[in-house]
Structure 1
Amino acid sequence: MTTDRHFVIVGGGLAAVKTAQALRDNDFDGSVTLIGAEEHLPYERPPLSKEHLAGKQTLSEFTPKPAQWFRDENIDLRLGTEATALDPAARTVTLPDGSTLSYDKLALATGSTPRTLPIPGADAPGVYTLRTIENSDALVELFAKIDRLAIVGAGWIGLEVAAAARAADVAVTILESARLPLLGVLGSEMAQVFTDLHREHDVDFRFEARVAEIVVREGRAAGVLLADGSTVEADAVLVAVGAAPNTQLAADAGLAVDNGVLVAANLATSDPNIVAVGDIAAQRHPLLERRIRVEHWANALNQPTTAAVTMLGGETEYDRLPYFFTDQYDLGMEYTGYTAPDDDTTVVVRGDKAGREFVAFWLDADHRVLAGMNVNVWDLTDRIKELITAGDPVDPTRLADSSIPL
């Protein structure tokens, strides 16, 4: 298609570059500008707590597109800069120097920011978070020179960093406010699997722990003081208590925001000329029939195809099931589907849970499959998707029987 329209993408991660790619793949030959806050070419984030942190991948290996691709595709790539304001009425983006960019369509892919702790010592040297390649590099260097690491938070990032630290022979203590790790995501039975896994690798868990203060000695973090008065000594502290979606730009522009930028099934925001993708997109999911916001790589990878079609005026919906994965020690896991913490579900296990080679299924009260998690068992994701999307009741006894094909 021949056009003089100008599309702008705000964000410098995987969702942003995939949106640019999807526009070109859909034959958009107008102008595209991509604005990214980081100095690096857009890169994928899962390796930051997995392969890169373990020293198995370099940045170039998880950078989807080289600089030449942006030149070849005529993408105006502006790294190391940020959009400071949006004016949906005028269709302009304001940059730090006060200049503006006009747009016909806009994609927001602003990602998220690690949450911090509102406690004394939280900003001291030796307190780390993990979101960027610089954060990951800093942890790699840290593991080579410390003996003890305290991690606040037992979510995916906290557990993956713990595994990498133990591989580097760093002693790890994890402080978690809940009674088990990942409790809100997986429930008690599956959360215990990850508890046992890390304990087998000598990780010290402190559950139902309330962190009162980061202990600072000689100008650096030296441990964590808990509300019960006890202290966990450490040479450094990682804060891994989740991430907040970067929605301020959208909110200031008057877009509908509620724990994310609210988007329809086609990823359009409350302004029809603006879409949102990735971590910030709180979508009304057409298959799940509920609003969800998923902070995982698969959304950043796959949502841009839908976003590009919407920007180009096509009819489409993003109906892929949520998907995420983790690698910790010798455990590899893929999770497909969605359950909320307050959903009334039953877990059915198929395979050898004790040997950590199994599939877990979450069933609702009518025995319909809502989600599935395959642990060290592969090539089942499509079968799990079929069970979920079919929406039919299943026999839990047959589901648990590995001799019966899914």
Structure 2
Amino acid sequence: MLLRAVGRQMSAALRQKTAIRSIALSRMALGGGHHHHEPQPVYIPKPGSLDWSLFGSPVKSKHEFEPYKPEVGAFIGAAVFIGLTIAAVVFKTDTFKKDKHHGHHEKKHAPKEEEAHHEVEEKHVEPESAPVEEPVKVEEPVKEEEATPSTSDAAQEAPAPVADEPAAAPAPSTSTEQEQKTPEPEEPAPSTSSSEEKTTAEPASSEETKEEKSPNLHCEYVIIGSGTAAYYASLAIRAKHAEAKVLLIGDETELPYNRPPLSKELWWYGDDSAVEKLDYTSLSGKKRDIFYEVDGFFVTPEDLPKAVHGGVSLLKGQKAVKICAEDKKVVLEDGTTVGYDKVLIATGVRPKKEKVFEEASDEAKEKITYYHYPADFKRVESGLSNKSIQKITIIGSGVLASELAYSIRRKYENVEIHQVFEEKHVAQDILPAHLAKKSTEAIEKSGVQVKAEKQVKGVRKCCKNVVLQLSDGTELRSDLIVVATGEEPNSEIIEASGLKANKELGGVQADKFLKVANNVWAAGAIASFEDVVLGTRRISSWEHAQISGRLAGENMATAGKAEKAFWYQPSFFTKFAPHMHINAVGQCDSTLETVSVYAEPDPETPLEKAVVFYKSKEDGSVVGVLLINVFGPSLDVARRIIDDKKKVEEFKEIAKLFPLYEMPKAPEEPEKEKSA
């Protein structure tokens, strides 16, 4: 009996060591675990820390770094220990063989309460109750435990929450179902992560499926949206609250990404891989893509509650439809509810739909693209690259339509490009009349056929093309129609939640701290907020999404302690032609009075430099600054002028703060004075 007990202990120890070693080897082979589950280092005993001798400690060498010289007793002790171990294992195996039928008989007639009490122990005994003709199955318990930890980290961590759910689900199941599952414990062990999920999902009852659809999750920080504002808000929350758990809920299937390259950098610096990878080579020579993070950065929603040090999780392809402020929960489109402590609305904007294109036939709609998402870039770029698109028409006069027309012309010189809009000039909503006219002329010089003051009256499909009927009676045939006539906020959740909306500017109304209601904030293009300098505003630009997202996230993490008001004036950049770089900051509205200051023409460069000041209607102070081919720290100078809120009398003097003019060179001294 003593040797039998020793054998059981030794066998259990060997299994545990083998399992630990398998986990360590698998994690080392895969480069470690996830970022929030670092693998424990394998313990390596120092020389001399283990005494294997039965007759005394080993004799240490005089030299500090020379290996020890153990006595003969150490080898004898080791041999005796190994012999006892082998004998115990052999004896244990023989004993199990003899007690097979006896153990099976006891288990068959044991009461149900005892079976439930010793459930774990019986799982290890039952695989050994196979027929005697297959003695190999005696070692299956060891093989089973070796196979489980040897899977990848994804198989260990990802199915973990799925494994927890069946633990609660089998409670209402009958004992007959348990008896049918227990005789085959070795089947799910060697399966991969994907097969484990399928195996676990198959026996799920209808009640389990219903619970999975409405799990009633809870997270302390919930962000509705997965764009730029949402991403930077999560970073700010984690910076202020290191162990915070943040859940992003986005209706897009993509990871959070940077939108401006879809109409600029991907066309300018992208190569053949841009369509698939959405990457480009920056001016610094480094390869970049539009995504802020890789998929491994985000913790799965199932693992987020168990993350010891918190993390950021992303729920893709799910649309939030309502916020229940009283119950502190968010309702998703499929009925799932997510509880929160604090919530941020960052739903952003979507492309504005045009009636004439919505009323077109289904065949014609196949040739129409509302340009806004990565899929839109892939469709246009792939069609141009494989030459299935030879004629393309862009509808709109705004910044997006104009820079898209220039970007496509820059990359594909042989493609016929038309830009159709109702206005007189491009970007005339932000540019003064003379600059809007110059921008239109610059686009035409680049090779784009501009059709200004033309309205689309009808759309029809003809052969492989789509035909536009214009207001002047002419028809325009194209292979693809790209609509970029504007944006509108995703504000359905605002109305459904009963939150205050801004009827004039759109979006949800927030205060200077970007707070909407108790424990509710807003950021990005969805927020109409109180600017302490320029009043109530709603801004749709990349830099504003970043800045407002950071501020909202910081205020969420420090609510009631040190909230900050919105103070930073965001800017935007665009390019309509090779020699027209536009940077703007503040309130740039062409309906305001403007003052433009031009630099003297330089024969050495075709760049025309200018600074445009936008004056307030109330007091005449500068509320916006637009820069044409002016770089350096000029945007910071413009922000300071706006923040000061001072009236400007001499705009030529204030224009000297910008690098419009080169500094005058110091007069050279006469040669006689130099020699003296």
Over 3 Å counting, the alpha-carbon distance change for 1:107 and 1:221 in structure 2 is: farther
Deviation (angstroms), 1:76: 2.3
Matched, 1:147 2:399: no
Could you tell me which residue of structure 2 aligns to residue 104 of structure 1? 341
Residue 277 (structure 1) shift:
0.9
Give per-residue Cα distances to partners, 1:32-80, cap 9 Å, x unaligned: 2111112221001000111123452635622122233333852222112
Counterpart residue number, 1:15: 229
- The reply to whether residue 163 of structure 1 matches residue 416 of structure 2 is no
In structure 2, relative to structure 1, the CA distance for the partners of 1:103 and 1:153 (3 Å cut) is: same
Aligned to 1:324: 572
Q: Which one-letter code corresponds to 1:121 in the other structure?
A: A
Q: Name the SS for the 1:140 alignment partner.
A: helix
Q: 2:615 is matched with which residue?
A: 364
Q: Which deviates the most, 62-71 or 350-359? A: 350-359
More helix by share: 2
What is the distance in 1 between the residues matched to 2:614 and 2:545? Answer: 27
Output one character per residue of 1:280-300: Cα deviation in whole Å (capped at 9) or x when no partner: 1111211112x2111100111
With 82-91 and 324-333 compared, the bigger mean Cα shift is at: 324-333
Higher strand fraction (1 or 2): 1
Distance 1:303 1:26 in 2: 16
Deviations 1:86-127 (A, max 9, x none): 212211111233121111111111111101210142861111
Give 1:63's aligned residue: 291
Q: What's the % identity of the aligned pairs?
A: 24
Give aligned pairs, total. 399
Find the aligned partners of 1:73 and 1:198 in 2 and give their Cα distance: 50
Q: Which moved more, 1:28-37 or 1:18-27?
A: 28-37
The aligned counterpart of 2:189 is none
Match status 1:215 vs 2:460: yes
Partner of 2:470: 226
Matching residue within 264, 269, 276 for 2:511: 264
State which drifts further: 274-283 or 115-124: 115-124
Cα distance in structure 2, aligned partners of 1:216 and 1:55:
34
Alignment-derived partner of residue 643 in structure 2: 389
Any gaps of 5 or more consecutive residues in structure 2? Answer: 1-217, 280-287, 300-308, 664-676
Q: Deviations over 1:191-218 (max 9, x none)?
A: 1231121111121222221211123223
Q: 1:65-144 alignment to 2 at 5 Å?
A: 65-71=293-299, 74-119=311-356, 120-121=359-360, 124-144=365-385
Q: Render the CA deviation track for 1:139-171: whole Å, top value 9, x for unaligned.
A: 111223222211110111111110122121222
3-state SS of 1:103 partner? strand
C-alpha separation in 2, matches of 1:74 and 1:6: 11
Give secondary structure in 2 for the equivalent of 1:183: coil
> Which of 509, 522, 527 is equivalent to 1:281?
527
Structure 1 counterpart of 2:574, one-letter code: T
Residue in 1 that maps onto 2:33:
none
The question of whether the paired residues in 1 share the 8 Å contact of 2:525 and 2:541 is answered with yes
Return the alpha-carbon distance in structure 1 between the equivalents of residues 242 and 518 of structure 2: 18
Q: Partners of 1:187 and 1:49 in 2: how far apart?
A: 23
- Judged with a 3 Å threshold, the aligned counterparts in structure 2 of structure 1 residues 378 and 217 are, in CA distance, closer, same or farther, namely same
> Where does residue 335 of structure 1 map in the other structure?
584
Alpha carbons of 1:101 and 1:363: their partners in 2 closer, same or farther (altered >3 Å)? Answer: closer
- Relative to 1, partners in 2 of residues 1:345 and 1:63: Cα closer, same or farther, differing over 3 Å? same
Change (3 A) 1:322 1:286: same
What is the one-letter code of the residue matched to 2:511? A
More relative contact order, 1 or 2 (CA 8 Å, 6+ apart): 1
Q: Is the 8 A contact 2:599 2:661 kept in 1?
A: no
CA contact (8 A) 2:245 2:312 kept: yes
Q: Equivalent residue for 2:240?
A: 26
User: Using a 3 Å threshold, how does the CA distance of structure 1 residues 352 and 26 change in structure 2: closer, same or farther?
Assistant: farther
- Return the alpha-carbon distance in structure 2 between the equivalents of residues 15 and 142 of structure 1: 31
